[in-house]
Amino acid sequence: MSEPIESVLKGELRRFKAYPTYKDSGVEWLGKIPSHWQLKPLRTTIKSCQNGVWGDDPNGVHDVVCVRVADFDRTKLRVRSDDLTVRAIDRRILSERGLRAGDLLLEKSGGGENQPVGAVVLYTHQAPAVCSNFVARVVVSATNHPAYLAYLHKALYSLRINTRHIKQSTGIQNLDSQSYLGESVALPSREEQESIASFLDEETGKIDVLVAKKERLITLLQERRTALITRAVTKGLNPAAPMKDSGVEWLGDIPAHWEVRPLKYHLKMPLAYGVLKPDKYTGSDGVRLIRILDVEAGAVTESALEVISPQQSAEFRRTLLRTGDLVLSVVGTIGRSFVVPHSLEGANLSRALARIQLDSGLDARFLELQFEANSFTSFVDLVPAGTAQRVLNLGDLAGFVVPVPPVAEQLALTAQVQEGIGKIADLIDKVRSAINHLNELRTSLISAAVTGKIDVRETAQ
């Protein structure tokens, strides 16, 4: 028996009863099925499975929505309604391959190790549209219910049945749809399919509401985290401390005994971008390369780092890291930062990151907190963007005005803030764990209902 279904029987879904009688399906992953259900190939549930089209650039005459895999809502099993792609599609092709509400969309190409190809969603929109050439339009037969089949395919996907039918000759996974549609499934009558789909719509809707509330709680906790950091690094932790005007509009009042100086006056070495073109430093014999995607809040995923060949050029040597350096993202997502640990001594940086080496008057971890504060966000917003992709120029960064308490106070503030944000992080982890549990419950509920392990007919009435 599959793990998702087994967890249903042992977990929260015990409140649902089983069907009165069962029979052996003869299918290993499916096990026993209700006696009145029929075992059939998936292909019997559809009229056709037709590849999509990409069309031409929009021309203002033949423009229609072209649904891509990126438009799949993999949780709600529907097509998103925002930011849809428009393509010019010949009217004859549109009449032959145009989508209709109730069609299923099958992902035929794409995917990856953690998200294999083969996802299916239900198309519910009324506007004229087609699907892209990485997607197939699946027309459902009259004896089956489209929403039920969407849930059934979701169960097959969660059980990884789709992975049996993946072919990969290049970097892209391709689903052999004919082979996949040969999989045997257990099917109740259309009337019972509608009843099960109605039940799942209601129950998964309740789960989605709970997930949304918990995601909102995470947002509030993250806002509390930022507020805690901002208060500490701009106002201190003593509310009774005398204050003075910092002279900086976005900074406001600061403790009277703090100094206010641009970052450039606290540098031991000039600010430096990472290597200009890391692609030219090919190889696997030396230096780890840190990219912006490797940087999370305060840390680097070292196991995922690429390795490049060491060079003797001045460009390459300029951003070789030392323990205690501070690294900041300055392109696109500005503000990600981390203090270099001993394990990353000698690593290098991509162009989107900058290295900061400080003198003894400013602690790197205190400055790291400054980069997480709302005051730094306000500073970045005042800097001209310059290009479509936001870039923080090193000259502007050098002019970032930093409120600086005595070093001993910096260390004390940092320690207290780390304790506070650690507690918030623990709360966020617990909420995320609860979200994962709800999503697992959602998946298990769907699998149990569409494989006949629970009888929800009375519940759905």
CATH number at residue 296: 3.90.220.20
Burial of 198 (0-12, 13-18, 19+ CB in 10 A): middle
Q: Please provide residue 134's backbone torsions phi and psi, each rounded to the nearest 5 degrees.
A: -95, 0
Q: What distance in Å separates the CA atoms of residue 35 and residue 24, rounded to the nearest whole number? A: 9
Residue where one domain finishes, among candidates 365, 383, 404: 404
Number of independent structural domains in the chain? 3
181, 204: one domain? no
274, 386: one domain? yes
Residue where one domain finishes, among candidates 404, 429, 452: 404
| Residue 245 is assigned to a structural domain of this protein | no
* Angle formed by the axes of helices 146-158 and 407-450, nearest 10°: 120
pLDDT of residue 386: 59
Q: Where are the alpha helices (DSSP H) in 286-406?
A: 314-318, 364-372, 374-382, 394-398
| Residue 260 is assigned to a structural domain of this protein | yes
Asked if 456 contacts 199 with a C-beta cutoff of 8 angstroms, the reply is: yes
381, 421: one domain? no
pLDDT of residue 302: 84
177, 230: one domain? no
Residue where one domain finishes, among candidates 404, 426, 453: 404
Asked if 415 contacts 374 with a C-beta cutoff of 8 angstroms, the reply is: no
| Residue 241 is assigned to a structural domain of this protein | no
Burial of 342 (0-12, 13-18, 19+ CB in 10 A): exposed
57, 125: one domain? yes
pLDDT of residue 1: 36
305: tokens are 């780092």
45, 125: one domain? yes
pLDDT of residue 453: 94
Q: What distance in Å separates the CA atoms of residue 403 and residue 218, rounded to the nearest whole number? A: 29
- SS3 of residue 286 by DSSP: coil
Strands 173-175 and 353-358: unpaired
| Residue 362 is assigned to a structural domain of this protein | yes
259, 290: one domain? yes
Q: What is the pLDDT along the chain (461 residues), one digit of tens a residue?
A: 344 434 444 456 667 899 999 999 999 999 999 999 999 999 999 999 999 999 999 998 999 999 999 999 999 999 999 999 999 999 999 999 999 999 999 999 998 888 999 999 999 999 899 999 999 999 999 999 999 999 999 999 999 999 999 998 677 899 999 999 999 999 999 999 999 999 999 999 999 999 999 999 999 999 999 999 999 999 998 889 999 999 988 888 999 999 999 999 999 999 988 875 656 656 566 788 888 888 887 788 888 788 877 776 777 788 889 999 999 999 888 999 999 999 999 998 888 899 999 999 999 999 999 999 999 999 988 877 656 678 889 999 999 999 999 999 999 999 999 999 999 999 999 999 999 999 999 999 999 999 999 999 887 66
| Residue 115 is assigned to a structural domain of this protein | yes
262, 127: one domain? no
255, 381: one domain? yes
Q: Which domain holds residue 303?
A: 250-404
Asked if 251 contacts 370 with a C-beta cutoff of 8 angstroms, the reply is: no
pLDDT of residue 391: 85
| Residue 447 is assigned to a structural domain of this protein | yes
| Residue 242 is assigned to a structural domain of this protein | no
Question: End-to-end CA distance of the chain, in Å?
Answer: 29
| Residue 365 is assigned to a structural domain of this protein | yes
Stated as kind and residue range, the H or E segment containing 31 is: none
The dihedral sign for the CA sequence 57, 60, 64, 65:
positive
- DSSP secondary structure string for all residues of 425-460: HHHHHHHHHHHHHHHHHHHHHHHHHHTTSS--TTTT
- SS3 of residue 181 by DSSP: coil
299, 211: one domain? no
Stated as kind and residue range, the H or E segment containing 8 is: helix 3-10
270, 336: one domain? yes
Q: Output the pTM of the full model.
A: 0.83
Tokens 């209700």, located at residue: 34
6, 112: one domain? no
pLDDT of residue 457: 86
Q: What distance in Å separates the CA atoms of residue 308 and residue 203, rounded to the nearest whole number? A: 51
CB atoms near residue 199 (< 10 Å): 21
